[in-house]
Structure 1
């Protein structure tokens, strides 16, 4: 009988108790992690690992695309941006191109940071000045 992995239990609990905004933030952070792993794999000439991590980053971008609330006006701007990022990840994977991954990483960081700011503002409005991410 094996003992449960405490880190895995913590991760599962974090996802299950997160708000939709926090889940989106987790997706952005996961995408950044897989982009970094892809870049490292390219540098180490590990094609399989590069492919696996690029595909994971693509899946996250695709998830962000399909979960957009198209009734929100910002979604009309985000959908083409996500589509662009997805296409660039495909190109980076095919070409093993770190520069393209750097470009995508920059956009994802900006989106993540903006999203984090939105969460902080919403928490301050909802709970007072103490809300932090």
Structure 2
């Protein structure tokens, strides 16, 4: 469903989030992208509440960048099939809602996108043990 490359890592680094990206597994990179996007949305909500229009726009732009250049760009639509196609559409929707939230100064739209990301992040975290098991099994087979 997600491409094995580090496109997400590059997007995450470009938007100024914490280091440690290069040594992370592909599964961990996606988790970091969810966290980064949600953090940016939280900051955008704060700036919206404080009336800081410029900073709100910057942080919403950061969230959009993480979604489009990280999460959406990491999808492997060939291997991921229908799930990847649906995620692609959902990420596009989220980016549009964030843009609309910025234009309309609408906190409810920010909360909506954060909720969608939280749901996806929870599901992604939930498959972590299975991903680790498969990776360990693959490593063991490769060592033989």
Q: Taking structure 1 as the reference length, what is the TM-score of the superposition?
A: 0.83
Specify which of 121, 127, 130 is matched with residue 130 of structure 2: 121
Contact 2:27–2:131 under 8 Å retained in 1: no
Match of 2:77 among 70, 73, 98: 70
Q: Secondary structure at the match of 1:56?
A: helix
Structure 2, unaligned stretches of length 5 or more? 1-17, 138-144
Tell me how far 1:127 sits from its aligned partner.
4.6
How many aligned positions are there? 117
What are the equivalent positions in structure 2 for 1:1-133 lying under 5 Å apart?
11-12=18-19, 14-63=20-69, 64-71=71-78, 72-73=80-81, 74-127=83-136
Structure with greater contact order relative to length (CA < 8 Å, sep ≥ 6): 2
Distance 1:125 1:81 in 2: 27
CA RMSD of aligned residues (A): 1.4
Counterpart for residue 7 of structure 1:
none
Task: Give ranges in structure 1 of 5+ residues lacking alignment.
Answer: 1-10, 129-133
Aligned residue for 1:8?
none
